[in-house]
Structures are given as C-alpha cells and as structure tokens.
Amino acid sequence: MEYGGTALPPLPPLNYDSPLALRKFLAERGLGAQKKYGQNFLINRDMRNRLLDALEIGEGDRVWEIGPGLGAMTAGLLERGALVTAFEIDRGFIALLEDFFGANPGFTLVAGNVLRTWPQAAAGEYLLGNLPYNIAALLLGDLIEGKRFFKRMVVTVQKEVARRICAPPGSRDYSSLSALCASAYRAYPLRSIPGSCFYPEPRVDSQGVRLDRLAGPVSGGLPGYFVPLIRRLFASRRKMVKNNLRDFILSLPAWNGGEQGAQELSAGLLEKAGIPPEERVERLAWEHFIALARLLAEITPPLGEEEDTHVHP
C-alpha cells in the first residue's frame, strides 16, 4: 500500500477470522474482551466486508471508527484508502492499535470514552462503529444534538436498538430515538448478524444499520425544545398528544400560566402545527415534533441548562 506516493507499513499479521488465534493473541499479552465495554470482535470476514461496502467510501475520505478493538475494521478502512480517526477506551487495545497502525499517516487514535472525547475530535465525513448496547442511543443522540453530522453512518448494534432506529411512526418499536434519527438521517436496516459471527459470542443477535444524511430544514441543527419534547412525550407514547403536550408545558421551569393556561396553549400549538389533539404520540412523525418545538420557542422562554436532554432507547 502507498499513501501520497510513500510505502505504508504492513497491516497487522493477525488472523481476525479465527477465534482461536484471537484468544491466543490476547492471552499472550494478558488481555481479554471486557464485558463492561461490550467487546465482541466480528470474526466473519464477509460480514466485515458488507459493512465496509455499505459505507461507500473512497480514497482520502475521513472516517470516524468507534470501538476499533483489535483493528479488523480499521485495517479494512485503511486498505480502502480512508483517513481513520479511531476512538478506543480500552488501555490494552490502545497500545496494540498504536503498534499496529501508529506509523500509518492515515491513522489517528483518540483514547478514552467516546461520549466524552468526540467533541474535541476533528470532524469526519463518515462513521463506522460496533456500538455496545449501553452507549448506542446515547452516542447517536449526542452527535445529532451536538450538530456533528456525517454524510453516512454504518453502525452495528443490538437488534433491538436497530429496530428502534429504523422504526416508522405507529410501529411497535417507534420511540424518541426513532424520531431523533429520522430528523437527520434516512435509516436502512442491513443484514442481521448472529452471535456466532463474533468472538466472544454474545447471547443476542446484532444488526447493521446504514444512516444517510438528509438535506432539509434541520440541516443546521434541531430546535432547542426538540429533544426534551420528544423525550417527555414518548414517556407516555400511547396517550393523546394534547395531554402529553400540556404536561410538558407544565414541566417547563419558566411556565407560570397554570394548568388551564397549559391546556389552552397545548390546544393552540397543536392547531397551528396541524396535529389532531386526539392523536397518539406514537403516531406522530418527526416533522410534527419539529413544528411543535419551533412553536414553543416562539412563545415561551428557553429551557434551563439543568434539563436532561439525553435520548434513551
């Protein structure tokens, strides 16, 4: 391989397709997959290539990789000429990745918890990641709320999370995460990935999801009320939206209009947004939530900074 006319160091001579080889490699170095980090290495070469193909990158494209682990996908990205910024939390794997790829000018390693380190990293055009269940929704929510958008993301997540990301309004899996992702990306489910494709083998199946960036009215970011609004409304997703919206208004720190005033404001906002007051929250599309968030911003003061806006799966 060459980069800018310069020969690159060889990729690591590690058999990423063999559980036995990986187990031996880790044991020799006193390392192991840690459950708390959701470390499961994708040992199926065909699945790895399918995920890389879905990203549709070219030489020189800037890619964020979340959780590179031992570097199987990192090697694939570098072979395709990508400029990789890899985020890794495990100290042992950080040292290995530096040994494997540190001499490659197309590789940058960001050490630490990605939920804390991503805001300081240089922007990327694409994102690839095998996301543990406990951070998948938080990370996607943080990136969208923080206006860190990508042309395309391909993530591997627990199948339950994949269903939530891709769910349309009115479906059983539709959630605040669905609405948040739909506000910025068009999501496509990819192949289901059985546990046998990973080492160590997890007890649940995973699925790839491709998210393509949308151009449109929220390309510059979401209205400030959008995230807390969907989070509160989806807490009672089967209730009528007029009641949920009234309760949300009553919860605002700056609201002093009482319950009757909140009820009247709720009715007025829904009328302006063209939403039937008897509609269930679970049937509203992300555009409805955007409209309500913008109308709220025109009428009421901004939320206090203490408000927790994280979207949970």
pLDDT of residue 276: 95
81 exposure class (CB count in 10 Å sphere: 0-12, 13-18, 19+)? middle
Residue-averaged pLDDT of the chain: 89
What is the structure's pLDDT at 69? 93
Residue 4 has pLDDT above 70, yes or no: no
The mean per-residue pLDDT over the stretch 197-220 comes to 86
pLDDT the model gives residue 34? 72
Between 7-11, 217-221, 307-311, the lowest mean confidence (pLDDT) is in: 307-311
Q: Which residue has the higher pLDDT, 253 or 243?
A: 243
Helix (H, G, I), strand (E, B), or coil: what is residue 188? strand
Give the Cα separation of 124 and 258 in Å (integer): 46
| Amino acid making up residue 92 | G
Residue 41's DSSP bridge partners are 199
Whether residue 311 is predicted with pLDDT greater than 70 in this model: the reply is: no
pLDDT at 117: 97
Which CATH topology does 226-299 take? Answer: Helicase, Ruva Protein; domain 3 (1.10.8)
| pLDDT computed for residue 38 by the predictor | 67
Asked if 284 and 226 count as a contact pair (C-beta separation under 8 A), the reply is: no
Whose CA is closest to 155, among 275, 31, 313?
A: 313
**Residue 305 pLDDT > 60, yes or no?**
no
How far apart are the C-alpha atoms of 157 and 205, rounded to whole Å? 9
Q: What is the pLDDT of residue 171?
A: 95
Nearest-10 Cα torsion for 43, 45, 48, 52: 160
- What are the residue ranges spanned by the domains of the chain? 2-213, 226-299
pLDDT of residue 301: 53
Q: What's the predicted TM-score (pTM) here?
A: 0.88
pLDDT one-digit tens code per residue, 254-269: 888 899 999 999 999 9
> Residue range 108-120: average pLDDT?
96
Local confidence band at 287 (pLDDT 50, 70, 90 cut-offs) = very high
Residue ranges in 133-285 assigned as alpha helix (H): 133-145, 159-166, 176-182, 226-233, 241-251, 258-273
CB neighbour class for 311 (10 Å; exposed up to 12, middle 13-18, buried from 19): buried
Q: Which CATH class is domain 2-213?
A: alpha beta
pLDDT higher than 90, residue 111: yes
Per-range mean pLDDT, top range of 38-47, 185-194, 220-229, 302-311: 185-194
Cis peptide bond upstream of 200, omega within 30: yes
* Over residues 52-57, mean pLDDT: 98
pLDDT at 118: 97
pLDDT of amino acid 7: 56
Nearest to 156 by CA among 88, 207, 190, 199: 207
